[in-house]
Amino acid sequence: MSSFTLGHFSQVCSQLLNHYYGEIVGQVGSYLLRRGNRMLNDIPTATGLSIREVKKALAVMIQHNLVKFQASERNNNVAEYTMIHHNVYCLIRYPKYLYMIKRIYGTSEEILLEILLNLGQASASNVIFHSANRLNEANVLSPSALHQSFQRLAQDNFIIRCPKLAENATLLKVPTLEIEEKEKFAVPNVEIEPIARMLKEKATQLGGHCDSEIIWRVNHERFDIELRNVILVNAAARRVDTTAGELYHLILKLWRESSNPDSPVTTPVSYNVIKDAVRKNDSSPILLEHFDHYLRVLYEDSAGLIDRAGDAGGGQFNLDYSKVFENLACASLDSIVLERFGSKALRLFRLTRIQKFMEQDQMQNVAMIPAKEAKMFTYKLLEHNFLQIKELKKGTSNFAPVKSFILYHVELPQVVRTTLEASYKGLFNAMVRQMHDLTENQRLLEKHAMLESMLERLKGDGVPDEEIAELSDTMPPAEKSLVEKIHLMSDNLTLGQTQADETILILESYLKFKSKEL
């Protein structure tokens, strides 16, 4: 299936589906990404797959919250399927989710989340059962401890309940699913004994259980918020220092508890509330001592991490997401320009961005760059769409040649969108290259993996060292170094993808909050 008709973002999504769920799901997914709402019948003809495979692919994607369905208007018994673009893209962030959960809570919550990510949608008992199985070598964690961990995750909204089957759903061909606001994070009673019993019997599946109709999934929106908070806290820590980062983290929590998650500006929080929170929380002594200074530094900083919104209660502080993400996006663009074109180009870019509209002459004078170089860099920036041109005609008399002013400016949403597309493309390229390297050398890598595992086993059995060395020599050093190289390259590509994803998050957030404020 040609991926040339997909935009860059959809190409990335299609690549992710291929990687995690296989070619069949990838093909069905690409088709739906390209075509939007489709019914079951349309898919086999377009993709060349058998209807059986298409059904399996759709079932897998629905299970993993990547596809949603709705009864078609024309015929109630048939469903129309649509991809949930954002969730497909979030596949790339799963390792980050796990890292965050591990950092905030601990290993048992991390395992719970991993199991839920693997299953897609599952009941609480199922998740607890499988997690206990996974951790069974330690045998320290009992199902009830895992149940508490599960509750913690639900309380902080990292996992959310899926809509349940409506009353008449079993009679309909296309079930309707609905959920009420208050039920979204309510953990049902989970019977621990059956789970414990199954675990003792070393069962691989949990049989029927009381909460089998209450299904949970990962709450992507909450993780997005958390990822954004991490970026902001890191920004605060870089701007000032780590203690400021700590303070900022606390304030973010206060804002989150009091604000509507959809609003672009948080509700203001007063100075006294912040001070209380700092004292209650186990903060470092430096923070307690210099709390005033840190707060002041943060809100006077031009990055807009904290805005002073009023004077009541010792000072009211809030956060304007669109402003802070505009600053972050600009910082990202600045560093991109710097690394690609050099510091002189960066000076021109920043100048134009801050001054809004500038003429060529003005630019080279204010930036203090020699004329020829200034012109070259201006042209380069223009060519790569970092600068935009606006022409103003200044025709006065009918006889004189019409003079026009050529003004340069930076239209931020447009530049951000171009850079975002370029980031998706870079991400896609890295993924394709990684896939290519791994499949081309698959035999070699598998051979190496088998050899390694065999050596490990033998070492564990206490086989003498000379024999082990002999066995490991069956693979020539040239091959070994090749395998090393492949692993290194694959690691670098993964890191590159992760970093590209961070930039993408910042740019996407800017565009999202910008569109909200209008």
Is 84 an interacting residue with respect to another protein (CB under 8 A)? no
Distances (CA, A) of 344 to 352, 358, 360: 13, 16, 14
Read off the amino acid at residue 319: L
Min CB(263)–another protein separation in Å: 29
Report phi then psi at 506, rounded to 5: -65, -50
Q: Which residue has 């759903």 as its token pair?
A: 169
Binding pattern for the stretch 166-205 against another protein, x by CB under 8 A and - elsewhere: ----xx-xxx-x----------------------------
Min CB(23)–another protein separation in Å: 8
Alpha-carbon torsion (36, 38, 44, 50), positive or negative = positive
CA distance 239 to 233: 10
**Please, which of residues 344-373 interact with another protein by CB under 8 A?**
360, 371-372
Min CB(297)–another protein separation in Å: 25
Number of residues lying near another protein (CB under 8 A): 70
CA distance 339 to 384: 14
Angle at 362 between CA 359 and CA 366, to 5 degrees: 140
**Please, which of residues 267-306 interact with another protein by CB under 8 A?**
none
Over its C-alpha atoms, the chain yields an Rg (Å, rounded) of 28
Q: Which two tokens stand for residue 465?
A: 């060292």
**Please, which of residues 215-274 interact with another protein by CB under 8 A?**
215
Nearest Cα residue to 232 out of 296, 324, 299, 317: 324
| From 163-171, 280-288, 299-307, 503-511, span contacting another protein (CB under 8 A) | 163-171
Is 341 an interacting residue with respect to another protein (CB under 8 A)? yes
Min CB(15)–another protein separation in Å: 13
Residue from 56, 184, 275, 433 binding another protein (CB under 8 A)? 56
Is 64 an interacting residue with respect to another protein (CB under 8 A)? yes
Read off the DSSP letter of residue 123: E
Count of beta carbons in the 10 Å neighbourhood of residue 144: 14
| From 139-147, 260-268, 295-303, 492-500, span contacting another protein (CB under 8 A) | 492-500
Residue from 86, 340, 457, 459 binding another protein (CB under 8 A)? 340
Is 495 an interacting residue with respect to another protein (CB under 8 A)? yes
Q: Which residue has 């109709």 as its token pair?
A: 213
Closer CB to another protein, residue 120 or residue 194? 120
| From 277-285, 473-481, 494-502, 504-512, span contacting another protein (CB under 8 A) | 494-502
Give the largest Cα separation in the chain, rounded.
99
Distances (CA, A) of 471 to 414, 451, 481: 59, 8, 17
Binding pattern for the stretch 102-121 against another protein, x by CB under 8 A and - elsewhere: x-----------x--xxxxx
| From 3-11, 40-48, 248-256, 291-299, span contacting another protein (CB under 8 A) | 40-48
Is 53 an interacting residue with respect to another protein (CB under 8 A)? yes
Is 474 an interacting residue with respect to another protein (CB under 8 A)? no
In SS3 terms, 267-310 reads as CCEEHHHHHHHHHHCCCCHHHHHHHHHHHHHHHHCCCCCCEEEE
The contacts of residue 322 (CB under 8 Å, 6+ apart) are: 264, 265, 510, 513, 514, 516, 517
Residue from 38, 96, 147, 448 binding another protein (CB under 8 A)? 96
Report phi then psi at 302, rounded to 5: -80, -10
Min CB(432)–another protein separation in Å: 14
Bridge-partner residues for 67, per DSSP? 83
Contact 17, 88 (CB under 8 A): yes
Bridge-partner residues for 269, per DSSP? 317
Min CB(365)–another protein separation in Å: 15
Is 486 an interacting residue with respect to another protein (CB under 8 A)? no
Q: Which two tokens stand for residue 16?
A: 């992710």
Q: Order the strands of the 316-318 sheet from edge to edge.
A: 269-270, 316-318, 307-310
Q: Which residue has 């002073």 as its token pair?
A: 308
Min CB(467)–another protein separation in Å: 29
Closer CB to another protein, residue 26 or residue 304? 26
Min CB(239)–another protein separation in Å: 18
Binding pattern for the stretch 388-407 against another protein, x by CB under 8 A and - elsewhere: -----------xxxxxx---
Closer CB to another protein, residue 69 or residue 325? 69
| From 50-58, 250-258, 318-326, 456-464, span contacting another protein (CB under 8 A) | 50-58
| From 272-280, 288-296, 302-310, 333-341, span contacting another protein (CB under 8 A) | 333-341
Read off the DSSP letter of residue 474: T
Count of beta carbons in the 10 Å neighbourhood of residue 228: 21
Q: Tell me the angle at which helices 242-258 and 271-280 cross, rounded to the nearest 10 degrees.
A: 110
Q: Applying CB under 8 A, which residues contact another protein?
A: 19-25, 40-41, 44-45, 50-53, 55-60, 62-64, 69, 77-79, 94-96, 98-99, 102, 114, 117-121, 162, 165, 170-171, 173-175, 177, 215, 339-342, 360, 371-372, 375, 399-404, 491-492, 494-496, 498-499
